[in-house]
Chains A and B, each alone.
Chain A
Amino acid sequence: MLKVEHVTKYYGEFKAVDDLSFTVKEGEIFGLLGVNGAGKTTTFRMIMGLLEPTEGKITLDNKKIDYSVTDKIGFLTEERSLLTKLTVYDQCVFYGTLKGMSKKQIEERLDTLLEKFSITEYKHKKIKELSKGNQQKIQFITAILNEPKLLILDEPFSGLDPFNIELFKKEILDLSKKGSMIIFSSHRMEHVELFCKKIVVLLHGKSVLAGDLKDIKEEYQKKNILIQGDFSLDEIKKVKGVINVTQGQDYIVKIENGDVVPEVFKKLRDANITKFVVEEASLNEIFIEKVGEAYEK
Chain B
Amino acid sequence: MRNKLFFLTSVSLKRKIKTKWFVLANILLCLGIVGIFNINSIIKFFGGDFDEPLKIYVMDETGEAYDILKEQIYTVDKGYYGEDSKNYEVLPYTEQGEIKEFIEGESKKYAFIIRNDENKILDVTLMSDGFIDTIDYQLLSTAVNNTKTIIATSKVDVSMEDVEKIVGPVSITREILDETKKTEDENMEMVMKTVFPMIILPFFMLTIFLVQMIGAEVNDEKTTRGMEIIISNVSAKTHFASKILSGNIFVLLQGGLLIVYFLLGLVVKNVLSSNHLFTGLDTMIGGTVSKVFESSLASQLTYVIPLSLLLMIITFVAYSLLAGVLASITTNTEDFQQLQTPIMIILLVGYYLAIMASTFKGALFIRILSYVPLISAILSPSLFVVGQIGILDVLLSIGIAILFDYLLIHFGLKIYKVGILNYSSEGLWKKMFKALKQKS
Contact = CB atoms under 8 A, between A and B. Distances in A.
Interface of A: 12, 45, 48-51, 67, 70-71, 73, 75, 77, 79-86, 94-95, 97-99, 142
Contacts, number: 60
B20 to A, nearest CB: 13
A238 B202 CA distance: 88
Nearest to B431: A12
Interface string B200-237: 00000000000000000000110011111111111100
Contact of A98 (B220, B224, B234): B234
A80 B225 contact: yes
A95 B229 contact: yes
Interface of A is mostly: loop
B22 interface: no
A114 B427 CA distance: 43
Contacts of B228: 45, 48, 50, 75, 77, 81
Given A50-B421, A75-B228, 18 more contacts: A12-B430, A49-B232, A50-B231, A51-B421, A77-B225, A77-B229, A81-B226, A81-B228, A83-B221, A86-B15, A94-B11, A95-B229, A97-B4, A98-B229, A98-B230, A98-B233, A99-B233, A142-B229
Contacts of A70: 232-233
23 contacts: A12-B430, A45-B421, A48-B232, A50-B231, A50-B232, A67-B234, A70-B232, A71-B233, A73-B232, A75-B229, A77-B228, A77-B229, A79-B225, A80-B225, A81-B227, A81-B228, A81-B229, A82-B226, A83-B226, A85-B220, A86-B15, A97-B7, A98-B4
B172 interface: no
B233 A83 contact: no
A97 B230 CA distance: 11
Interface in B1-56: 1, 4, 7-8, 11, 15
B7 A81 contact: no
B225 A67 contact: no
A75 B231 CA distance: 11
Contacts of A50: 228, 231-232, 421
Nearest to A152: B232
Nearest to A143: B229
B224 A83 contact: yes
Ordered nearest first, which 10 A-B pairs have the shortest CB separation? A98-B233, A81-B225, A48-B232, A79-B225, A83-B226, A81-B229, A81-B226, A70-B233, A97-B7, A77-B225
Contacts of B221: 83
B186 to A, nearest CB: 55
Contacts of B226: 81-83
A170 B408 CA distance: 49
Contacts of B430: 12
A153 to B, nearest CB: 13
Contact of B224 (A81, A94, A99): A81
Interface string B401-432: 00000000000000000000100000100100
A78 to B, nearest CB: 9
Interface in B215-270: 220-221, 224-235
A114 to B, nearest CB: 19
Contacts of B1: 67
Contacts of A71: 233
Given A67-B1, A80-B224, A82-B226, A75 B11 contact: no
A85 B430 CA distance: 33
Contacts of A99: 233
Contacts of A75: 228-229, 232
